[in-house]
Chain A
């Protein structure tokens, strides 16, 4: 049978993680259909129809789907579910909120946050914040799966021409009302998808000192991250937090500055391709995962780092 993926979007554009989830979903079964639920979301349906991995787009459009409310999405998905063996979506706050609601009503035990598709019913997933990997096999007839987006490459976005069919909407929930969304606007790349991330920890000593990090982030076009300790100390807002309770990032380059490397932080960044640690404590656990460790006082090292970067003729961005 086929796989149904629930798309995340803002009614205009597909959210990037949906493309990563598409890659995983088409590894489960290549007859992949995508469900777009939104308000005036035609551009989203159209762009998904151009993704070569997608065989069909089902588009359900109504004013009630302007904002994403799990209680409104769920009945639409359940209506489609009987035709599919798998219902999948990305394991970010969108999918984490939505999928268990669907799974419970299908009486299915959900498989959360997979990082590898082994077969149609068997998956690899991290447990204990990534300190162990479990291979699990779902025995439910219908499978509900969420996908860790950073473990899969994004699917190509052009070359396909899937058909777009309209699906039926259902009645809105009377019990849940959207009030507002405060998006954090930034000119920088988004933390979850940036190619380079530079993060500060408690060693930064103050929020003011994060300007040393900002200057390097500007130079490298990097996203700014932080450890939980830095967030708890009030140096920086919590949307920057990398770790088990923050965001999981997998950039090409991760630079950890003044971060000791608590288990909870490592869980959020240790899959990065290249890791740099700058810390004055040579025994800090962060060095055990760093490709390049520099034992130095960050207040000397960061200005020098910027200076050296300025000397380079070219910087990949």
Chain B
């Protein structure tokens, strides 16, 4: 079995982002970048499946600027076998990423495609489902448990009401929740080894698809600030304020 894992380079989740003064976006210069957190879970799960002997090859794919290959290298350092960087400038919307991944899937013919359920920058939560749709593959989103069985996956999904279990035929798309597993850290020797693993570069313009944005970003602004509140000195005062001032209890 062959697994493709799609990974995205985003602003590190610990960074307090800053909105640009001209409203054109958020500041990304000199800001720490990392792999989108649930994409790490997707890589980890693929590696675990390979270690269990159920998969032979893992290909890590990313779409973005030249630097996005760091994200692929990181996947290679924790166990992916080779990488693909699809170079594309500027904003690439989830629909365009799905179309790019469709081309990669047609070429690579994987049995499974894994990725994080959502990127923590644009918070779209779309790419996996869109890829499943255009490939006409089944989708298992928000996975917190994956069992690889004969020709099918049994996937437990995190849904609002609790947990849902579905069975999807292979080939299929899985989008991963943070609770799926605990991603491992790359060891220094493995980081060194990853530098020698193959990383193919493809230019998105060679794929013959329209990846122009369809959504115009008019402005980005800071959310309204919450008014600073007061400190109360005792529980009695707190309860009295909640009852008589805020009138919420």
Contact = CB atoms under 8 A, between A and B. Distances in A.
A294 B235 contact: yes
Chain A interface residue bracket vs B: 35 or more
Contact of A96 (B141, B213, B220, B228): B141
Interface string B102-137: 000000000000000000111111111111111001
B133 A104 contact: yes
Given A96-B125, A105-B134, A122-B218, A183 B239 contact: no
Given A295-B231, A312-B239, A181 B219 contact: no
A70 B248 CA distance: 40
A305 B235 contact: yes
Nearest to A270: B226
Given A112-B125, A127-B122, A132-B26, A104 B164 contact: no
B22 to A, nearest CB: 13
B159 to A, nearest CB: 4
B246 to A, nearest CB: 5
B162 interface: yes
B160 A94 contact: yes
B214 A139 contact: yes
A179 B166 contact: yes
A93 B235 contact: no
B246 A253 contact: yes
B172 interface: yes
Interface string B15-28: 01101000000100
A252 B246 CA distance: 10
A181 B230 CA distance: 44
B216 A127 contact: no
B249 A112 contact: no
Contacts of A135: 217-221
A109 B95 contact: yes
A174 B26 CA distance: 44
A275 interface: yes
B127 to A, nearest CB: 8
Interface in B194-249: 213-223, 226-232, 234-236, 238-239, 241-243, 246-249
Contacts of A181: 159, 161-165
A315 interface: yes
B94 A109 contact: yes
A293 B242 CA distance: 12
A104 B235 contact: no
B229 A93 contact: no
A97 interface: yes
A288 interface: yes
A103 B139 contact: no
Contacts of A316: 247-249
A128 B26 contact: yes
Interface in B66-117: 93-96, 98
Interface stretch (A31-39, A47-55, A237-245): A237-245
A293 B232 contact: yes
A294 B238 CA distance: 8
A241 B2 CA distance: 34
A14 interface: no
B49 interface: no
27 contacts: A69-B166, A93-B141, A94-B159, A97-B139, A97-B141, A100-B128, A101-B133, A104-B130, A128-B121, A131-B16, A133-B221, A181-B159, A182-B162, A238-B179, A253-B246, A263-B13, A288-B228, A290-B229, A291-B229, A292-B238, A293-B230, A294-B235, A304-B236, A309-B239, A309-B249, A312-B239, A316-B247
9 residue pairs, one from A and one from B, having the closest CB atoms: A100-B129, A104-B130, A109-B214, A291-B229, A100-B126, A104-B133, A179-B165, A175-B138, A308-B239
